[in-house]
Homo-oligomer: A and B are copies of this chain.
């Protein structure tokens, strides 16, 4: 892994935790370690003491758990603008998953838990920003659980794609999902062959997926297809309207 240049006061990441409270970023910035991690690198282990909160600056990270009988579940796929390791916000907590770099290298910033907890104790504003972040996380996972029963496979894939359109600023969007098919399928709670069928279905909504390349002709049209089956669309808890 490669150590990158020190972050400055001006490098506020586009994440609600810091966007809404730039003062917290200024207090934390000198203790943040930003590095490039190679593909397949295990960044945190399931069950390890959660010493750090992690910000994703680039690349892809899978959050994975293993059951005693050997099944693997992908419980998160993080990319630019995402955060993982929120367990670090709590005293004596451990990571509830393994985090692993997939699909090329990833650029991550690590914030020591101790620093965050110390600032949260001093600063009421930061402490309530943390609480709000946790509540939103909670709401987002709840939403994924809901989607598992109310949405079709194609709608769930569409919802994931919409999340990645969040920073495009336009009605059309172009980006990459360099994630292996079986990983994406597992994350979305479907079989790889169902994922293929869902990709075909999304073509009719103007979504072209060729290998890792995704082109969305109209974000609005995709929203129309996806969000009618979601109880949170339009309320702001929805991941599509906010960074996560």
Contacts and interface: CB of A to CB of B under 8 A. Distances in A.
Contact of A87 (B91, B121, B135, B230): B135
A141 B229 CA distance: 20
B231 A135 contact: no
7 contacts: A47-B235, A75-B145, A86-B138, A87-B135, A91-B128, A131-B134, A148-B189
A86 B135 contact: yes
A164 B73 CA distance: 26
A137 to B, nearest CB: 6
Nearest to A186: B149
A204 interface: no
Contacts of A128: 90-91
Interface residues of A, number: 48
Interface stretch (A32-40, A61-69, A102-110, A167-175): A61-69
Q: How many copies does the complex hold?
A: 2
A180 interface: no
A161 interface: no
A121 B128 CA distance: 9
A114 interface: no
B68 A228 contact: yes
A231 B65 contact: yes
Interface of A: 46-47, 65-69, 71, 73, 75, 86-87, 89-91, 93, 96, 121, 124, 127-128, 130-132, 134-135, 137-139, 141-142, 144-146, 148-150, 186, 189, 227-233, 235, 237
Contacts of A91: 128
Contact of A139 (B96, B127, B146): B96
Contacts of A228: 67-69
B96 A142 contact: yes
Contact of A90 (B73, B132, B145): B132
Q: Which of A87, A91, A145 has the most CB of B within 10 A?
A: A145
A121 B124 contact: yes
